[in-house]
């Protein structure tokens, strides 16, 4: 187990390594849309609706994967998508071409070390990625860095204690390194004095996931 420091306490996290994530999503890439498309679609739509409310001038999606969320975003907003998996990005590139999403650029990179300058996006989205990254604390730090002061950060993720899903969480927890994601991430890991959590909304079947809306200003 690894630990994530949250204020005055440590949160234990299932072990997860960068290479295990890459391997897992190499396996998932051909079937990802089939496995995780429809079941997680309501969360993606809710996140895109929040983006439309925010009306950003420049949008970043961290963990763009095969691009399932991209068609839901406003088509007049320059959008950058980044992902660690080349296998997923190849499929994303095909989808962007097929749908003529000319406002979207994608690149390969590590979310824990984003190859992007400071304060360059006024909206950053993170769909189903926080449970995948080996070091959530580093990812959170990078989100704050690339998001402009006063900008919005939208985090869509499964957090532990999600009602009827708790049994499944316990089953998956020891398999994190094999399946490429952890099921025991606590919502408390998002408590941070450098930003304000504006809302938390339950999404997807039986509240499987939560959409967290954050303002990138000191609390």
pLDDT, the chain, mean: 81
What CATH number does the domain located at 2-215 have? Answer: 3.40.50.150
CB distance 216 to 153 below 8 Å = yes
Residue-wise pLDDT tens digits, 58-83: 999 999 999 999 999 999 999 999 99
| Nearest 10 degrees: Cα torsion 152, 10, 13, 194 | 10
Mean pLDDT of 92-118: 95
Token pair for 161: 């204690």
Q: Look at 1-10, 90-99, 166-175, 193-202 and tell me which has the smallest mean pLDDT.
A: 1-10
Q: How confident is the model at residue 160 (pLDDT cuts 50, 70, 90)?
A: confident
CA 169 to CA 162: how far, in whole Å? 9
Average pLDDT over residues 116-145: 93
pTM of full prediction above 0.85: no
Q: Cα separation of 111 and 124, whole Å?
A: 12
Q: What is the C-alpha R_g of the chain?
A: 16
pLDDT for the residue 108: 93
Using pLDDT thresholds of 50, 70 and 90, give the confidence band for residue 127.
Answer: very high
- Indicate the domain borders of the chain: 2-215
């Amino acid at each position: 187990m690894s630990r994530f420091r949250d204020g005055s306490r440590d949160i234990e996290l299932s072990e997860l390594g960068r290479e295990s994530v890459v391997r897992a999503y190499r396996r998932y890439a051909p079937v990802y849309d089939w496995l995780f498309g429809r079941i997680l679609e309501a969360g993606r739509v809710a996140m895109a609706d929040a983006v439309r409310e925010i009306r950003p001038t420049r949008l970043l999606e961290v963990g763009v994967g095969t691009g399932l969320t991209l068609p839901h975003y406003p088509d007049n907003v320059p959008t950058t998508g980044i992902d660690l998996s080349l296998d997923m990005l190849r499929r994303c590139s095909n989808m962007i071409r097929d749908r003529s999403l000319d406002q979207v650029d994608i690149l390969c990179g590590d979310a824990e070390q984003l190859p992007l300058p400071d304060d360059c996006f006024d909206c950053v989205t993170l769909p189903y990625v926080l449970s995948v990254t080996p070091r959530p604390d580093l990812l959170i730090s990078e989100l704050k860095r690339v998001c402009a002061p006063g900008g919005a950060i939208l985090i869509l993720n499964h957090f532990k204690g999600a009602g009827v899903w708790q049994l499944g969480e316990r089953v998956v927890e020891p398999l994190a390194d094999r399946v490429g994601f952890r099921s025991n991430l606590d919502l408390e890991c998002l408590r941070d004095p450098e930003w304000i959590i504006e809302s938390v909304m339950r999404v997807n079947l039986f509240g499987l996931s939560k959409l967290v809306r954050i303002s990138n200003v000191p609390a």
